[in-house]
Structure 1
Amino acid sequence: MIGYIIGFFALLRIYTGINFFLIKRHSNDPIKIMKGAESFYSKKGKTGALLIHGFTSSPKELEELGKILTKKNLTVYTPLLPGHGTSPERLVITKYYQWIEAVEEAIKVLEKTCDKIYLIGNSFGGNLALVSSNKSKKIKGVVTLGTPIHFRREKINRFFILPILKRIKLFQKKKYKKGITNINKKRVCYNSIPLIALGHLLKVVNISKKSVRNIKKPLLVIQTKNDTVVDKSSGEYIINNSKSKIKKLVTIPESYHVFILDKHRKKAYAEILKFIK
């Protein structure tokens, strides 16, 4: 019986390896951007906001916030991160450092026209904001929205389930609770998670955890106590371990992980506008 089980998992691993090889073979094929997932740039005043979307998502989730900031005369740039807004297969062959480099390039774009820059990252985008917070003297503050330092059920998922799963399958289909499904209709994102890419996400999270200790710039950390993905200790870690003299932790009530699309999103928007002023 054990022999059959071992043989079954061996076949799955071979199958996964073949699929990965085929995906890499098509890595130079033309890239088609999903409708609504395009980068957004609006040149306005001398204060700029770099909005960074979350893992497997796209700039669409930050569209409403971007429009609000634009109306306040901020220059807004929301880039599409590498491997996103195309197909999950593209994300399979994307490395963690490509996301960091993309954010650094986006900062350079805003540096050309802005005197002040604020980094605003949703979920995983907040990790990238933390990592890049000292890349320019023009960066005057960082905002993280539901950004993970610790995950719910982290030890089981990170050290047991993920190492096994990513060896025998490439993708894990997302599962949402009933109320969350309606919120996701406002997003342009993948319906499955590339497990190899999830490993790269964890690398960025670890880098951001170390980067927090060197942050002296103003910090606004917003999270929701009902988050089913991120542990509430994440926000506390960012606040307690940074060297920032100006920092604030805000908790949004009764909201999903991507609370900037949920019913209390205006509270988050108000806090962001107050922080930038």
Structure 2
Amino acid sequence: MPVLPGAEPYRHDGGEVGVLLCHGFTGSPQSLHPWAEYLAEHGLTVSLPLLPGHGTRWEDMQLTGWQDWYAEVDRELRSLRERCGEVFVAGLSMGATLALRLAAKHGEAVSGVVVVNPANRMHGISPYALPVARHLVRTTKGIASDIAKEGSAELGYDRVPLHAAHSLRTFFRLVDGELPQVTQPLLVLRSPQDHVVPPADSARILGRVSSRDVTEILLEQSYHVATLDHDADRIFEESLAFIGRLAPSVGKEGTAAGG
């Protein structure tokens, strides 16, 4: 099935510091593309993969689960580690959950974590009904484009496949148990007005990680897909500053070699 225009993966070979960006559930790289380009313009090596089952049609997603999505970002992280001295992981919503698991599993191979409106639990779809409902009903209403900015839209599915949603619920519970293994510096950017993921999810994550270097920033002007919203520039700038603080070579002459 051909990838939807705009949903293609993005890669940029820059300097010795790499960033892996993970998009959200039913979304695509389009939601993080401006962020990826911003980091690339500042000399970083950037990888923004398309998760299996995403960016085509929801029927394709029905055939995938969390193991497929995580395997893709795990593979990208290992690839980045081969060509970069330091690697950071970042993500939006479920992409943030993927990034947190990468940090928990890869330890010192990940230098820091940036999450935007991170998801920790299933909301909206009644989670307790999913094990049965997914055999009776194939989809429910989509969750894409929760954006305050006029004229800005997220390229995502208008339906949520319940089989995939059930797998996502399992994944959230798995990662919640692994959060104490996250020890890296952590930057959390969240929108107080988020119609997809409530503030309780960020609070839960902040309460369970073992990171000591933690920064939380509120995105007052944005909804869930903040990377395409009014606070997008702030996300880009704060994430670059966070990476630059931990990897001082960022922004120095020669970082963009090969970029």
1:182 Cα deviation (Å)? Answer: 5.1
Letter of the structure 1 residue corresponding to residue 22 of structure 2: I
The alpha-carbon deviation at position 150 of structure 1 amounts to 3.6
Segments ≥4 residues shifted beyond 6 Å? 175-179
User: What's the CA shift for 1:152?
Assistant: 5.0
Letter in 2 for 1:80: L
| Matching of residue 170 in structure 1 with residue 135 in structure 2 | no
Match of 1:79 in 2: 49
222, 230, 253: which one aligns with 1:255: 222
Unmatched 5+ stretches in structure 2: 245-259
1:23-62 aligned within 5 A: 31-62=1-32
Counterpart in the other structure of 2:250? none
Partner of 1:113: 83
Partner of 2:128: 159
Cα distance between partner residues in 1 of 2:233 and 2:147 = 19
Matched, 1:138 2:106: no
Counterparts in 2 of 1:11-22, with a 5 A limit? none
**Matching residue's letter, 1:115:** G
Which has the larger displacement, 203-212 or 123-132? 203-212
Aligned-pair CA distance for 1:215: 0.9
Q: Tell me by how many angstroms 1:177 deviates.
A: 8.9
What amino acid is aligned across from residue 173 of structure 1 in structure 2?
K
Please give the alpha-carbon distance, in whole angstroms, between the structure 1 residues aligned to 2:212 and 2:89. 17
RMSD between superposed Cα atoms in Å: 2.1
The answer for the alignment partner of 1:68 in structure 2 is: 38
Cα offset, 1:166, TM superposition: 2.2
Distance 1:68 1:178 in 2: 22
**Counterparts in 2 of 1:178 and 1:61: CA distance versus 1, 3 Å:** closer
Question: What is the number of residues matched between the two proteins?
Answer: 243
Matched, 1:125 2:92: no
- In our comparison, the structure showing a higher alpha carbon Rg is 1
Structure-2 residue corresponding to 1:234 = 201
Match of 1:97 in 2: 67
User: Distance in 2 between the 1:53 and 1:177 partners?
Assistant: 13
User: Are the aligned partners of 2:145 and 2:225 in contact in 1 as well (CA < 8 Å)?
Assistant: no
TM-score (normalised: structure 1): 0.81
Higher relative contact order, structure no. (Cα contacts within 8 Å, ≥ 6 residues apart): 2
Partner residue, 2:165: 198
For residues 182-193 of structure 1, what are the structure 2 equivalents within 5 Å? 185=153, 187-193=154-160
Q: C-alpha offsets along residues 178-219 of structure 1, whole Å, 9 cap, x if unaligned?
A: 96595663x322111111101111112112211211111111
**Aligned CA distance change for structure 1 residues 208 and 178 (closer, same or farther; 3 Å):** closer
| TM-score where L is the length of structure 2 | 0.87
Q: Distance in 1 between matches of 2:55 and 2:151?
A: 18
Aligned partner of 1:22 in structure 2 is none
Matched, 1:148 2:119: yes
Q: Which amino acid aligns with 1:36?
A: G
| Counterpart selection for 1:243 from 195, 210, 215 | 210
Distance 2:134 2:160 in 1: 11
- In structure 2, how many angstroms separate the alpha carbons of the residues matched to 1:108 and 1:177? 31
How much identity, in percent, do the aligned residues show? 28
CA contact (8 A) 1:150 1:231 kept: no
| Consecutive unaligned residues in structure 1, runs of 5 or more | 1-30
Instruction: Decide whether the 8 Å contact of 1:82 with 1:102 is kept in 2.
Output: yes
Once the two structures are superposed, residues 10-41 of structure 1 have per-residue CA deviations (whole angstroms, 9 ceiling, x without a partner) of xxxxxxxxxxxxxxxxxxxxx32111111111
Assess, with a 3 A threshold, how the Cα gap between structure 1 residues 91 and 270 changes in structure 2: closer, same or farther. same
Between the aligned partners of 2:123 and 2:65, the Cα distance in structure 1 is: 24
Q: Is the 1:131–1:207 Cα contact (8 Å) retained in structure 2?
A: no
